[in-house]
């Protein structure tokens, strides 16, 4: 695996694989493959992929520690940026399909509805992490400060889960919420146990 991760085509391949859900969604939308309510389907599925990429980002460190595949760390920044990318698509779907890109209404709507406010807070933290992800920023801030800043991803997780929970509360459908909660709790629990041992 270490040798594979060093291949010159490995990173472009991972980049394309991460982009495939977006390509499929656009294709499905253009061919009426998203059901009777494509706007709702796009909103829901972009949110799902945001959560999935958050899980993928958080699994990098445990997988690296268990397997010894230390070169996985080279892919963490790209995976984190993809989590932000799908979060942006999710926000765009809300702004476009729910609010008609009326920015005045959007600004007024965010504080009125708690699940929108929580989702926007999670997106705002991801925005800060994306803006500060380049190596030049890392050098400017210093390794320790940059690392502390990027631990803010641990704030994104509960906010994203709460947003998802409130979204599903209207339909009284919490099965997927519990699945994501279990996965993310296990990934964060791994980190907590390692921190305690240290």
Q: Give which of 124, 33, 196, 90 is closest to 98, Cα–Cα.
A: 90
Q: Confidence class of residue 147 from pLDDT cuts 50, 70 and 90? A: confident
pLDDT for res 43: 92
As a whole number, the mean pLDDT across the chain is 89
**Residue 162 pLDDT greater than 80, yes or no:** yes
Percent of the chain with pLDDT over 90: 43
The most confident of 62-66, 83-87, 167-171, by mean pLDDT = 83-87
Using H for helix, E for strand and C for coil, what is the string for the chain? Answer: CHHHHCCCCHHHHHHHHHHHHHHHHHHHHHCCCCCCCHHHHHHHHHHHHHHHHHHHHHHHHHHHHHHCCHHHHHHHHHHHHHHHHHHHHHHHHHHHHHCCCCHHHHHHHHHHCHHHHHHHHHHHHHHHHHHCCCHHHHHHHCHHHHHHHHCCHHHHHHHHHHHHHHHHHCCCCCHHHHHHHHHHHHHHHHHHHHHHHC
Residues 81 and 132: beta-carbon distance below 8 Å: no
**Residue 170 pLDDT greater than 80, yes or no:** no
CB atoms within 10 A of CB 81: 17
**Per-residue burial over 84-95, b = 16 or more CB atoms within 10 Å of its CB, e = otherwise:** bbbbbbbbebbb
Q: Give which of 53, 68, 59, 57 is closest to 21, Cα–Cα.
A: 53
Question: How does pLDDT run across 70-95, given as a tens digit for each residue?
Answer: 888 888 999 999 999 999 999 999 99
Max CA separation in the chain (angstroms):
53
Q: How far apart are CA 184 and CA 85, in angstroms?
A: 20
pLDDT mean over 152-160:
91
Question: How does pLDDT run across 11-31, given as a tens digit for each residue?
Answer: 999 999 999 999 999 999 888
């Amino acid at each position: 695996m270490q040798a594979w991760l060093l291949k010159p085509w490995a990173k472009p391949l991972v980049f394309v694989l991460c982009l495939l859900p977006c390509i499929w969604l656009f294709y499905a939308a253009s061919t009426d493959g998203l059901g009777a309510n494509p706007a709702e389907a796009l909103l829901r599925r972009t949110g799902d992929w945001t959560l999935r990429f958050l899980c993928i980002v958080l699994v990098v460190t445990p997988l690296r520690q268990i397997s010894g595949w230390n070169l996985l760390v080279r892919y963490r920044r790209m995976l984190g940026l993809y989590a932000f990318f799908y979060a942006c698509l999710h926000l765009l779907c809300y702004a476009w399909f729910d609010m008609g890109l009326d920015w005045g209404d959007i600004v007024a709507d965010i504080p009125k509805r708690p699940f929108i406010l929580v989702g926007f807070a999670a997106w705002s933290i991801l925005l800060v992490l994306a803006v500060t992800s380049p190596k030049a920023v890392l050098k400017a801030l210093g390794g320790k400060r940059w690392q502390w800043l990027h631990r803010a991803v641990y704030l994104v997780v509960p906010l994203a889960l709460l947003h998802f929970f409130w979204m599903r509360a209207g339909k009284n459908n919490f099965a997927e919420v519990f699945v994501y909660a279990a996965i993310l709790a296990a990934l964060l629990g791994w980190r907590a146990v390692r921190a305690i041992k240290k």
